[in-house]
Structure formats: C-alpha cells, structure tokens
Amino acid sequence: MAAPKLTRVVASFSCTATGNQTIQLEALRGSKVVLYFYPKDATPGCTTEGQEFRDLHAEFRQQNAVVFGVSRDPLASHEKFREKHGFPFELLADTDEKLCRQFDV
C-alpha cells in the first residue's frame, strides 16, 4: 500500500523568518513546502520535533521539499532556538497568528 499523499491548497502567504528573511509562498512555486507548527520554542516536545525535522532534513531536500517550523514566538526567540539546535531550515514568526488561522492550528 502506498503512503497517502498529503496536500493542501492554500492561499499565498508572507511571513517573517529567521535569517533576516521574509518567506513568500509564491517564491517557492515548484517546490513542496512542509510547514510544521509547534507551540513554543525551547520546550521539550517542540525541541524534539524540531530535532526530528533537522535529522530528516536531507531526505526532505531529496524530495524537493522545503521545511519551515512555525510558531507564535518572536524572531529573537526563533534565532536562539534555531542556532542552539542547528536547524538547517528557517523558523517563521507567526506573531499575529495569520498562518495559524489559515491552517486551523
């Protein structure tokens, strides 16, 4: 049995991210985009989740997928969290909760 294909068509979005970036969905056209939502930087469960995405990052890239972690925390918190755990992907600061609402998180 083949694994189910999980896709969701969403409206475009723009969100501030670590690395002094703004991520725009339109700019990623042609790539698979993986957004994982988590409650708070540096909590045990969220750290483990981020580390798992970090450890599987090369496999996502082989599938032409771009990974982003999303939480309501501010960029300063994201920068520390990302650096401490060596995340090779950017973290999006959804401080106004627009992405959370868009994805019913």
* Structure-derived torsion over alpha carbons of residues 16, 86, 78, 41, reported in degrees to the nearest 10: 130
**Token pair of 54, please?**
């970090």
Set 15, 17, 46, 91: catalytic member: 46
Indicate if 100 belongs to the active site: no
Which residues are 65's β-sheet partners?
Answer: 32
Q: Name the E strands within 45-89.
A: 65-71
Give catalytic residues, as residue numbers. 46
